[in-house]
Structure 1
């Protein structure tokens, strides 16, 4: 076992029911189990099947099945966010809240030392009843929480958040570079929408942060240290950093069909595109994206869900597209091994939505990074990578908030053309940050310090 802590804890985890949340919780569970701690991980059956191969310590990490109750309006049997369109996540959140009794039964029987959660705003009050310390573990960037979800805005309780509120960073916000544009502010307004029964996303998240014993963040001092200090001051409680928590070794191998296909291209020549497990494009957006890739003239692999109103990606392809890109372009509508694709030597560019997981995977890869953010936190992550760290290029937008095939092609070419000054600049900066993140002891040092912080909190 590794780590400086001598106390061994029983830790429970209950993340939001989306793969982008459940996966990093499990990565953290692996690191804690590696140091001798026991973890009870609450999640539904379907998620267990998807995640069991990532459980590296099944003797210490136990998957505890949570039954997700049916809520009117949700397709029967829904258990995770990837099974439904974004507009139904409000109902899934309501269903998740109805699992409170199941969690209580487990707490009563097992009396864990800590509970880690993010979306379940009711968890701190439940944990207090059993003397359990609650940790709100945020797996999105500190920037995305700090800019909108902080007490610094000092809003009256009876007044909802407005677009004008979000047009400027809150008082004391430590980055002057974040300037949000009109369509970006509008996209951030999702936080004012219902997210569960009689509660908005804004209220749910701020309550989860206000009521816990400590906040934990999947980030590091080097990239977001000032923002984490800002959060600690705003919420008047400790903010523990876990670092990126990415697996150092991947035991899987890339599926043979992708390994063979990618093997037919020169090193660093293929552009890979993926937008996560939840976001679904409109058909016209989907087609414009594909035409942008065609326009680059480069080989590409696109892994996206079928667009709205389509059962398969094939039926949504632009007319004549398949014939025109035959031999150099593939559009795939299923799940794909993103970390392994990014490690393949033929892949030279990663076009992604800049969800926090993809952001870290981008930084840990050797690929050039092109960003197409869709939602609020992704926009703020994009600002960090493109403007603060200067390791990526963001695709230019039209007035309607989407982009043209020409702007997408231009962004990709700007990092893939060998003589491009922009490409050389972001590659140099990216290499510097990758060296920092890969430094021996960097990742493990954060976890060791995190466990020491838990020990202090437990006293």
Structure 2
């Protein structure tokens, strides 16, 4: 493939080539031909904090069973100490550090994901990020200084309003409930929850006593997924709960007036999608940048809640799920929680207005093009 790419670049002579960690060798082919390479990861700027915490030790061969926030990790002065990401190099719980072993383990004799990403960062000409200064200024400054690379900020990619109509069966089901009362839950197409996590998630939603629509995926199909459901649950929640496997019109569901909460895995695009739709956000991150995205949105920006987990194992509990959902949905709110809830609502409103502002989006595009031109002629 390298000769083919080199031949194509020689013939077309572009200013830039955009690549990701799947082909970390792109800079070595492009740069000798005078073509600058732009790394385009799918993550936010804050994800690039990962190499400076437990994951760096893991990738270096540290096999201790627990790498925690008590370990002596670097916390750069450019990262505000009060930020949710400052502690422990980006991952604050032992289970998060242990989860990082997946990306620091070689795969089929090839370099691990961590080494691929760091190679890309080291060799590229610049980094493209789907973010903006308003959201991640301290982290953008840090990444540029740490890696001595300019960042081209594309702004958070806000989805266009969906077209078409919601499938009739789901429209009729949602219509049965009050405005803003339904909890929608999905963890994306690439996340498969364990049987234990499925049980605690669903029982927590049942405890919240709110209507819910849960999309679950199982690599072995719907029948296998159904076998993992808590015994008797479907009968108990038949009038107010949907548990579905497969594709749904997510944007149309999130935008439905009767949907008020989005429980998700903390993917950057998913969080933005839910926020723009006007849903309250509850995050249950599963891996990698999702932990950092959740800390960014729930912690730094204050526009949602991350479900608390068992510190060492990361186990999900029904009580924690119920508590997070009822809190954002204003059910069972305690008097001393009123100020925190009001602040969350204000932050939610402020950031939603920011994301849907077309003028802001146009400004991001203009600044991105200007910086790209500047990079091309330097």
| Normalised TM-score (structure 2) | 0.86
Pair 1:126 & 2:29 matched: yes
Classify 1:197/1:108 alpha carbon distance in 2 versus 1 (closer, same or farther; 3 Å): farther
Residues 1:229 and 2:123 aligned together: no
**Is residue 412 from structure 1 mapped to residue 325 from structure 2 by the alignment?**
yes
Name which of 309, 316, 321 aligns with 1:403.
316
Gap regions ≥5 residues in structure 2 = none
The Cα of 1:222 is off from its aligned counterpart by 0.7
Per-residue deviation at 1:238? Answer: 1.0
Within the candidate set 109, 113, 117, 2:15 is matched to 113
RMSD of aligned Cα (Å): 2.6
Matching residue within 336, 339, 355 for 1:437: 355
1:15-35 deviations in whole A, cap 9, x for unaligned?
xxxxxxxxxxxxxxxxxxxxx
> Which of residues 34, 37, 40 in structure 2 aligns to 1:137?
40
Structure 1: how far apart are the matches of 2:30 and 2:146?
23
Q: Is the 8 A contact 1:270 1:301 kept in 2?
A: yes
Larger CA deviation: 350-359 vs 161-170: 161-170
SS at match of 1:149: helix
Deviates most, 174-183 or 215-224: 174-183
Is 1:184 matched with 2:96?
Answer: yes
For these two proteins, the number of residue pairs brought into alignment is: 357
Write the distance in 2 (CA, Å) between the matches of 1:102 and 1:364.
42
For the structure 1 residues 165 and 323, does the alpha-carbon distance in structure 2 shift closer, same or farther, using more than 3 Å as the test? closer
Give the counterpart of 1:319 among 231, 236, 239. 231
Gaps of 5+ in 1: 1-98
SS at match of 1:313: helix
Provide the C-alpha distance between the structure 2 equivalents of 1:454 and 1:196, rounded to a whole number of angstroms.
37
Change (3 A) 1:294 1:371: same
Residue 262 of structure 1: aligned partner? 174
* 1:135 alignment partner, SS class: strand
Larger relative contact order, structure 1 or 2 (CA cutoff 8 Å, min sep 6): 2
Aligned partner of residue 103 in structure 2, secondary structure: helix
1:169 and 1:353, CA in 2 relative to 1: closer, same or farther beyond 3 A? farther
Partner secondary structure for residue 127 of structure 2: strand
2:39 and 2:292 map into 1 onto residues whose CA distance is 20
Pick one of 163, 169, 172 that aligns with 1:251: 163
Q: Is the 8 A contact 1:306 1:313 kept in 2?
A: yes
Q: Distance in 2 between matches of 1:145 and 1:266?
A: 42
Determine the structure 2 residue equivalent to 1:216. Answer: 128
Answer whether contact 1:313 1:332 (CA < 8 A) is retained. Answer: no
Is the 8 Å Cα contact of residues 284 and 307 (structure 2) preserved in structure 1? yes
Contact preservation (8 Å) 1:281, 1:308: no
Residues 368 and 159 of structure 1, relative CA distance in 2, 3 Å threshold: closer
Shift of 1:257: 2.7
The offset of 1:449, in angstroms, is 0.8
Q: CA deviation at 1:321?
A: 1.2
On the 8 A contact 2:16/2:38 being kept in 1, the answer is yes
CA distance in 2, matches of 1:385, 1:308: 33
Against the structure 1 CA distance between its residues 295 and 143, is the aligned structure 2 distance closer, same or farther, given a 3 Å change threshold?
same
Q: Structure 2 vs 1, CA of residues 344 and 310 (structure 1 numbering), >3 Å: closer, same or farther?
A: closer
Alpha-carbon separation, structure 2, partners of 1:366 and 1:266: 16
Distance change in 2, residues 1:315/1:115 (3 Å): same
Contact 1:127–1:133, Cα closer than 8 Å, also in 2: yes
Shift of 1:212: 0.9
**Aligned equivalents of 1:159, 1:419: Cα separation in 2:** 47
Query: Aligned runs of 1:357-436 on 2, under 5 Å?
Result: 357-399=269-311, 400-417=313-330, 420=333, 421=338, 422-436=340-354
Distance 1:295 1:164, change over 3 A: closer
Local SS of the residue matching 1:192: coil
